[in-house]
Amino acid sequence: MLAGAHHRLHNLNEREKQYKNAFHLFQMIVGLEHGDVHHLPYSGGVMEQPYKTAMMWSLFKNEVAAKIAKNNKEQAQKMRRK
């Protein structure tokens, strides 16, 4: 991890710490191949999730999917160079 990023993670305010903790939980239930969410935080389906939780999970999913797409693009470029 970069020193600057490590420093920023230790200087989070309380609200940022809550999102960081929620993201760590999200990482445990998301498929890292495609970004699929395997479990929801509350019982029931998508429509039974609290609104703020659903929005946060959606944001997290989009970020993970973007990271996966970036990694896949980088891998494809490396393969083309060989």
Structural domain boundaries, residue 8: 3-81
What sign for the dihedral angle of Cα 29, 47, 53, 63?
positive
In angstroms, rounded to a whole number, what is the distance separating the alpha carbons of residues 60 and 33? 15
Query: Per residue in 16-59, pLDDT tens?
Result: 888 888 888 888 888 878 788 888 888 998 899 999 988 988 88
User: Contact, 60 vs 23, CB < 8 A?
Assistant: yes
| CA terminus-to-terminus distance, the chain | 28
Number of domains in the chain: 1
Which distant-in-sequence residues (6+ apart) come within 8 Å of 10 by Cβ? none
Q: What is the pTM of this model?
A: 0.67
